[in-house]
Structures are given as C-alpha cells and as structure tokens.
Chains A and B, each alone.
Chain A
Amino acid sequence: MFGFIIQRLLATIPVLGMVAVFVFLMLRLTPGDPAAVLAGDNGTPEQIEQIRQSLGLNEPLLVQLGIWVGNLLQGDFGQSYFFKKDVAELILLRVEPTLALAITTLILTIAVAVPIGVIAAYKHGTWIDRAVMAFSVAGFSVPVFVLGYILIYVFAMEVKLFPVQGYKEISDGFWPFLHRLILPSITLSVIYIALIARITRASVLEILGEDYIRTAYAKGLTPSTVLRKHALRNAAVPIVTVIGIGIALLIGGVVVTESVYNIPGLGRLTVDAVLGRDYPTIQAVIIVFSFVYVVINLLVDLTYSLLDPRIRY
C-alpha cells in the first residue's frame, strides 16, 4: 500500500510537468515579445525590462523553463499588470467563492445522482429507469448558462425565492452565504448529476446480476439492505472514479456559472483575465485548476482499496 502511494505520487510528477511545459510554451508560441505580452496592453518599458530580467528571457529556452518552474514551486506566479497585484495573492482572494460553490455542488450531486442511479438500476426497464436516463441525456445537452438564466428567471424573478445574483462570504453569516449558493449549485450540478447517475445505474445494474445478490435476497434481506450493502458497495469504485474525472466538468462549469451568477471566484477571474489579456493570471489559473484536478484524481485512486478491500497493492 505504501509503495503504491509513493508510486502513484511519482506518476503525477510527469503529468504536472507536462502541464507546466504547455503553459510555458503557450506564451512562447504566441507572436511577439513574451515580456511585452505579459506586461499587458499598458505595460511600460520599465515593467517589460523588469519581466525580462526576472524570467531570464535573454537566456536559452531551457534555462527560461527552469527559472519559470523554479518560481512556480516557490509559489511565485508573477505579477498581474492588469489587476495590479501579485497573481498568487489575487488567486488566494478568489479561492473561497469557488471552493464554496464546488463543495455545495459536489454534495448536491452525490446526494441526488447516486440514489436516482441506484433506483433506476433497481427498477430497470420501468418508466422510472427511462425517466432517469432521459434526464441524464437531457442534462448533458442543456448548456450551463441557459439553465442558469432559466433558473434565475423562474426562481429569482418570477417567484422571488432567491437573490438574482451575487455572493456573500461565509463570515457574513451562514444563511446569506448558502442562500446565494443554492441556484448556482443547482445549475452547476445538473450536468454532473447526469454523468454520475448514468454511471451509478450502469455499474449497479451489472452488480445486480451477480450470484451474491440473489443469495442476499434468498437469505431474506430487504431490497434496501441489498442495494446499500451489497450492490452499491460493490459498484462504488467506478462511481468514485467518474466523480473524480467529472471534476473537469465541474471546473469548466465553474467558469460559466460564476459569470452567470456574478460570483467573484476563480472562474470569473479566468474570464476577466482572458478578456484583459492578462497572461500571468491565465497561466496561473490553468496551473492551479490542473493541479487540483490531478490531485483529486490521485486521491480517488488512493480510496480504491478503502472502498473495495479486494483491491490490494
């Protein structure tokens, strides 16, 4: 087990290394002087010179990469000339809303998707099953922002249940904080629920055909016990795997949802950075999101042996 953790940790290094190389190359492949590009549209000659010095832009490409990665490892993402701040500081300021949105969405998704997936598998072939599958196909097709605006229109403007847009920090009180997160979380969770419900249904359906399920019924267990303790338990590995892979959907959705609901998080920062051509921030956001994605999937891999004791390393 310990050996496996070490091995798996080491395997993430080349992946994250590749991400760093891509992000590094992205800027080098754009036409023009990277220092001028990094300084943004209103960069002064002094700022450009300063960037050139700090990134070693007069050195060979490999040395530049080394300097850049070295800076990253020290948590130095450079300066945002557009927002006039340290990029690292800028990102830290925006983490809370995104984290809050992601966590509420994740909780909502698992709470809804797993039960409906299990029920669809249990009621295989009935209208319940077909309804869940139809929802799953539809959920993949409705664009996040269209859904967001429809929910705003119905639940915030027609029926005034929720605030239209905006964000309150958790330090402003728990209810105002949660109240403003409900609609964004529902919006963001739909595509994710569609994905997880589908996988849950498929893997539970496969398990329900096993002999030990028949045995469990034969010894007189209730359907709910069989589903929870036998079927779901054995179907857990693929479900958790897809929850991990689906984090990519979640990250993509965060960018859109935060723009629709005016939430000042990392997703909003990404869009603002792209609109302002603020490359230091764009680079940093990609690195941060990819890092989170890779680490979450690493954690998912590590839970396999907890979820299924038959898996040993």
Chain B
Amino acid sequence: MTEGTENLVDAAASADASSRRATVWEQLVRNTSVMVGGAIMALMVLIAICAPLLGTMDPSDIDPAWRNKKPGTERTLTADDGTQSTWVYLMGTDTLGRDTYSRVIYGAQVSLAVGLIVAVLSLAIGLVVGMVSGYIRWLDGIVMRVMDGLMAIPGILLAIALVSLADAGLVTVILAITIPEIPRVVRLVRSIVLSIREEPYVEAAISVGTRLHLILIRHVLPNTIAPLIVQGTYICASAILVEAILSFLGVGIPPETPTWGNIMAEGRILFRVFPHNILFPGIFLAITVLAVNMLGDGLRDTLDPRMRKRL
C-alpha cells in the first residue's frame, strides 16, 4: 500500500481538526465557568508558587509562647539589631504556636501538587490500559473484570485502606488516591476506543494498511484528549478533597507537613474555642475544589458537547 494514500487520509483528518481547534478556543474564552474557574485556579497556583514571598513565616516554626491566638493578634518582633517590627497573625495560631496564615498558604502547594499529580498519573495509566483493553479482545474481559472489582470498593474507603498498607507519606497518599480513580478512566477510554474503531476513517486507515500502533496514536488518541481533559479536572478536584480527608482523619500526609487537611485535623482538638484553624483552610479548600469543578463543567460543555446533553 502506498504511503501517499495514507498521508492523504491523515492530512484530511488533521485539517478538519485544526479548523475546529480555533473555534473551541474562542468558545473556551467565552465560557464563564472556564474563565472564573480558571482565574481562581491560576490565583491559587500563583499563591502556592509565591508562598515564601507572601509575608509568611516558616510554616513549621513552633512558638509555645504564642499558642492559640485569635486571628488578628499583633506581636512586636525585635530583630537582632534592635529594630522593632509588628507581626500580625492574620489567621491566628494553632495549638503549637504555628502561624495559621503561613500554614494555609504553604498548604496550597501540597494540595495542588497532589491534585495535579493524581490527575496526570491516573489519566496516563488509564489511557494505556483502556486503549490496550479496547483493542486487544482477549485481554478486554480480564481487564474489565478487574476494573469492575476495583469500582465495587467505594473510592475513599479503598484509599484509606491502601494508605494503611505503607508508611505515611506524600508518595503513599498519591498512589492511594490514584488507584481508585483508574477504573473510571479505563472505562472512558475503552468506550471511546470501541466506538472509534467502527468509524469509517479508521476502517479506511486499516484498509490502506496502517499498522495498529499508528492507528491508535493518530486516530484513537486524538479522540480521547477532550474527554480526558474533562475527566482529569474532575479527578484533580476529587483528589484534592480526598487528600484533605485522609490528612484530616489522621491517616494521610504526616502532620508536620502543612496541608489543609492537616491544619484542620490539628484544629479539631480546640475547635469549640478556636474555630479559625478549621475555618480558614476549609475556605481555601472549598474555593479551590469549586474552581476546579467549575473549570471541569465549562470544559465539558465546550469540549465534549455529547456529555453536556447527558448531564
């Protein structure tokens, strides 16, 4: 079979794709959900990256003399050369005298990192497993039974159980949150593969002798991108929540690390007197998750109009 015919088919497909891409971009800019969610997310990422510059102190700096201060408490600091400056505990301090504001700001780093890494990891693993499962018939049955089994265990429960198997730490937590997310991605990718393989242009590609891996990369993969981006944002939102839940329950990232869940877990003890240690990280957590979810909804509406009809 000639290379020429094959290239022609591909050229037609990519020309079609690029003309669509331009309008999608315009649609994204016009979508309020995408813009608001995206703006808040960008702000959170900025906060996380610039944490040391935002008037914070060392988030794990323990100061027993300044334990359990209400938000807004002022403190006069004397530097080595005798000059005095005022430090305001914007969000108060916790039971160990650590500055809650600094901990919340630094906490954004962990939360966003966990959300992003879990989303990328589960998409990558799910994509490979889903494509293989959708294209290799004899594997399909086995893979899908395993996925059904995994999906039968409620996600948070599975994550909690997985965390208990290894030493507490960032890597353990990320893996424990990723594994329950994988089956949904596999199912999504597999369903796309199954529908795409029946499309005339895939048949055309097969008939001109395109090899399997090229069909998967050139024809199947591009069709999975939009739904996967949408799915990825939802996974990111849920991962941020689950990380906070695990840390809050005391089974997640070690308590020294400032994460929103850990700050709240610590704040539980004296919640009745000092609710700020739960309130502030809670607000940050809720706003971040809300922003990611809004971004996901907006992306779904613009990138994946079929899903919009369903939900």
Which residues in A have some Cβ–Cβ distance to B below 8 Å?
Answer: 14-19, 21-22, 26-27, 29-30, 137-138, 140-146, 149-150, 152-153, 157, 164, 198-199, 202, 206, 247-249, 251-252, 255-256, 259, 270-271, 273-275, 277, 279, 282, 285-286, 289-290, 293-294
Instruction: Mark the stretch among B50-58, B189-197, B216-224, B240-248 that contacts chain A.
Output: B240-248
Q: What 17 additional pairs, Cβ within 8 angstroms, besides A141-B293, A255-B160, A270-B157?
A: A18-B145, A27-B165, A137-B293, A140-B293, A142-B289, A143-B282, A143-B285, A146-B285, A149-B278, A247-B154, A251-B156, A252-B154, A255-B157, A256-B245, A271-B251, A274-B251, A286-B158
Are A274 and B160 CB-contacts (below 8 A) given A140-B293, A143-B285, A202-B310? yes
Q: Which residues of A contact B282 (CB under 8 A)?
A: 143, 146, 149-150
Task: Scan residues 150-202 of chain B and give those whose CB is less than 8 A from a CB of chain A.
Answer: 150, 152-158, 160-166
Query: Which residues of the other chain, B, contact A289 by a CB distance below 8 angstroms?
Result: 153-154, 157
Q: Is B65 interfacial (CB 8 A cutoff)? A: no
Alpha-carbon distance A137/B33, docked complex (angstroms): 11
| Given A144-B245, A145-B264: A16 and B310 interface contact (C-beta under 8 Å) | no
What is the CB-to-nearest-CB distance from B164 to chain A, in angstroms, rounded to a whole number? Answer: 4
Which 10 A-B pairs have CB atoms at the shortest separation, nearest pair first? A18-B149, A252-B156, A146-B282, A141-B290, A141-B289, A248-B154, A251-B154, A274-B164, A290-B153, A30-B165
CB distance from A210 to the nearest CB of B (A): 15
Bound-state CA distance A282–B264 (Å) is 24
Contact: A286 with B248, CB < 8 Å? no
| Also in contact, A143 and B241, with CB within 8 A (given A149-B275, A149-B278, A202-B310) | yes
A256 near B248: Cβ-Cβ < 8 Å: yes
Q: Which residues of B contact A271 (CB under 8 A)?
A: 160, 249-251
Given A270-B157, A270-B160, decide whether A145 and B145 contact each other with a Cβ distance below 8 A: no
Instruction: Known A198-B311, A274-B163; judge A19-B149 contact (CB<8 A).
Output: yes
A residues within 8 A CB of B309?
206
User: Chain B residues in contact with chain A, CB under 8 A?
Assistant: 145-146, 148-150, 152-158, 160-166, 237, 241, 244-245, 248-251, 264, 271-272, 275, 278-279, 282, 285-287, 289-290, 293-294, 297, 309-311
**B165 and A146: CB pair below 8 A?**
no
Q: A18-B146, A19-B149, A289-B154 are in contact. Are A143 and B164 (CB under 8 A)?
A: no
A100 to B224, CA, bound (A): 43
Instruction: Name the A residues within 8 Å of B148 (CB-CB).
Output: 14-15, 18
Q: How far is the CA of A198 from the CA of B278 in the complex (A)?
A: 29
Chief secondary structure at chain B's binding surface: helix
Q: Distance in Å from the Cβ of B147 to the closest Cβ of chain A?
A: 9
Assembly CA distance A251 to B259 (angstroms): 24
A176 to B309, CA, bound (A): 45
With most chain B CB atoms within 10 A of its CB, the pick from A17, A22, A146, A164 is A146
Q: Are B152 and A15 in contact (CB under 8 A)?
A: yes
Closest-CB distance, B75 to chain A (whole angstroms): 26
Asked if A30 and B166 sit within 8 Å, CB to CB, the answer is yes
A199: B residues at CB distance < 8 A: 311
Cα–Cα distance between A157 and B264 once the two chains are bound (Å): 18
Give chain A nearest CB distance to B63 CB in angstroms: 25
B residues near A270, Cβ cutoff 8 Å: 157, 160
Closest-by-CB residue of B relative to A199 is B311
Nearest CB in chain B: distance from A18 CB, A: 2
B152→A29 contact, CB < 8 A: no
Give Cα A202–Cα B251 distance, bound, in whole angstroms: 37
In the complex, which residue of chain A has the Cβ closest to the Cβ of B159?
Answer: A252
**Residues from chain B with Cβ under 8 Å of A15 in the complex:** 145, 148-149, 152
In contact, B272 and A157 (Cβ under 8 angstroms): yes
Taking a contact as CB atoms under 8 Å apart, the answer to whether B153 and A286 are in contact is: yes
Most B Cβ at <10 Å: residue of A150, A152, A248? A248
CB–CB A248/B165 < 8 A: no
- CA distance in complex: A146, B244 (Å): 10
A94 to chain B, nearest CB (A): 15
**20 pairs, A vs B, C-beta closer than 8 Å:** A14-B145, A14-B149, A15-B152, A19-B153, A140-B237, A143-B285, A143-B289, A146-B286, A149-B271, A157-B272, A248-B154, A252-B154, A256-B248, A273-B164, A274-B251, A282-B161, A282-B164, A286-B158, A293-B153, A293-B154
CA distance A91 to B251 in the complex (A): 21
Q: Which of B153, B155, B275, B286 contacts A22 (CB 8 A)?
A: B153
Q: What's the least CB distance linking A139 to chain B, in Å? A: 10
Contact B152 A293 (CB under 8 A): yes
Q: In chain B, what residue has the closest Cβ to A133? A: B297
Contact A26–B245 (Cβ < 8 Å): no
Q: Which residues of B contact A273 (CB under 8 A)?
A: 164
Closest to A292 in B: B154
